[in-house]
Amino acid sequence: MGRAEGPAMRPLLITAGSRGDVQPYLALACGLLAAGHRPLLAAPRRFAPLAAARGVEFAPLNDEMLSLQDSVKGQGVRAAITAARSVTPMLRRLLDDQAELAARREFDVVVYHPKSLGGPYIAERLGVPALAGLLLPLYLPTSAFSSSILPVRVPSVLNRASWRISSAIEAPYRGTVRTWRREKLGLTGTYRPMAGLVRAGEVLHAWSPHLLPAPGDWPAAAHPTGFWTLPADDVWTPPEPLARFLADGDPPVYVGFGSSVGGDPEELAATVLEAVRMSGRRAVLATGWGALRPGRQTDGVLVIEEAPHDWLLPRVALAVHHGGIGTVAAALRAGVPQVVRPFLGDQPFWAARLHHLGLAPPPLPRRLRPERLAAAIAAASERAPAAHTLAARLVTEDGVAAAVTRLEKLSDY
């Protein structure tokens, strides 16, 4: 990816959340760097080594909320409610770190994740264009489908109205953001909530049109660019037990639920292990942030904490997961069929979409039984040809390059 003659952009990329929220922004930063620009990635401080490994300039943001999530994972609803009481001061510290970036006044475009909450206001302070980098359809209404974060599906006549729920996501934080915007950024003009700013401004939709094409009532500028994918990591070396397990038999089933934690990790792990036994397959179980907590060793099953999806998933037969878009994208690129047991948020939306495309059986219910999961694993295996076909199409797609081109045109580079 090369850059036409002209001065380099100095883009500020701001994201917050888990690795699934950070890695696509790191991929965009790598693409900008390769095109001759000088991006700065601002993200939770724990991801600094990830950026350093790719040679991307990094600004650490407060990550107390991630540490809080770590501390309560697998401890149930009461612990989560107690922890939520300390979120507001943590959020203010996250916003204050972003305000420090605005003080540098060296950036000419801002790309922000809505979870950052401060992104569009940093751009307002700097007087530069702002683009929301969205990993899922969130703010632009359409009559083609209902809001991706709606907990239930609605009649199609209510699709467009359902998108009002997106505006409510930030409602608990608006007071904090409004005060911060005035006190730290010195902005005294009318405060506009995130949802309105996204709808009125520029947006980059970072998923593949092969997974979800733009509906006809979206503007051309909102058409998805393709996934923002990191260049292949040729450096990562698997732990010896994982390498040996993969070499010792047929490709296994991958099971991992990322940062989605249910009420009883031990029960969910026991259900998964029994389903794997019933299916007659080998399996790799990734415990992630604690969604799975196996209580015993089982023949034919390897338990790991995590491994890069882009390395591991091409080496498995199919993927059982929570439906997070990062895992969905990695499985699509790997060409493996999927089984989805969604937990929350946009996960049911992507689970239904995969089933619609013939890449997965129907989404699994919250109350999971071994027999149901074993049957889904068998059904998913029959969808392997469709998964291979879509993976071949994704090879021709470069979402990062498309996003870089959009940013260059916006900034007249």
CATH ID of 240-394, from 3.40.50.1980, 3.40.109.10, 3.30.460.80, 3.40.50.2000: 3.40.50.2000
Residues in the chain: 413
Q: Region of 43 please: left (phi>0), alpha (psi -120 to 50) or beta.
A: beta
Q: Phi and psi dihedrals of 256, rounded to 5?
A: -160, 140
Domain with CATH 3.40.50.2000 in the chain: 11-227+397-410, 240-394
Closest CA to 201 of 140, 116, 118, 135: 140
CATH ID of 11-227+397-410, from 3.40.50.2000, 3.90.950.10, 2.70.70.10, 3.20.20.210: 3.40.50.2000
What residues contact residue 301 under an 8 Å CB cut-off, 6+ apart? 273, 276, 282, 283, 284, 285, 294
pLDDT at res. 78? 46
Question: CA-CA distance, 255 to 235, in Å (whole number)?
Answer: 24
Tokens of 16: 């917050």
With beta carbons less than 8 A apart as the criterion, state whether 222 and 209 touch: no
Question: CA-CA distance, 298 to 317, in Å (whole number)?
Answer: 19
Closest CA to 317 of 251, 266, 365, 369: 251
Question: CA-CA distance, 398 to 413, in Å (whole number)?
Answer: 20
pLDDT at res. 85? 61
According to DSSP H, which parts of 248-313 are helical? 265-279, 309-312
Mean pLDDT by 10 residues, the chain (413 residues): 66 94 96 97 96 96 83 48 67 96 93 95 96 95 92 88 84 92 94 89 95 95 95 81 96 88 82 95 88 82 92 96 94 97 92 97 94 97 97 96 94 64
Question: CA-CA distance, 381 to 288, in Å (whole number)?
Answer: 24
Question: CA-CA distance, 194 to 116, in Å (whole number)?
Answer: 10
What residues contact residue 286 under an 8 Å CB cut-off, 6+ apart? 254, 255, 256, 292, 304, 305, 306, 307
pTM of this prediction? 0.91
pLDDT at res. 80? 44
Question: CA-CA distance, 351 to 356, in Å (whole number)?
Answer: 9
pLDDT at res. 297? 79
End-to-end Cα, the chain, rounded Å: 14
What residues contact residue 157 under an 8 Å CB cut-off, 6+ apart? none
pLDDT at res. 30? 97
Question: CA-CA distance, 254 to 289, in Å (whole number)?
Answer: 16
Closest CA to 395 of 342, 333, 327: 333
Tokens of 390: 């879509």
Question: CA-CA distance, 42 to 302, in Å (whole number)?
Answer: 35
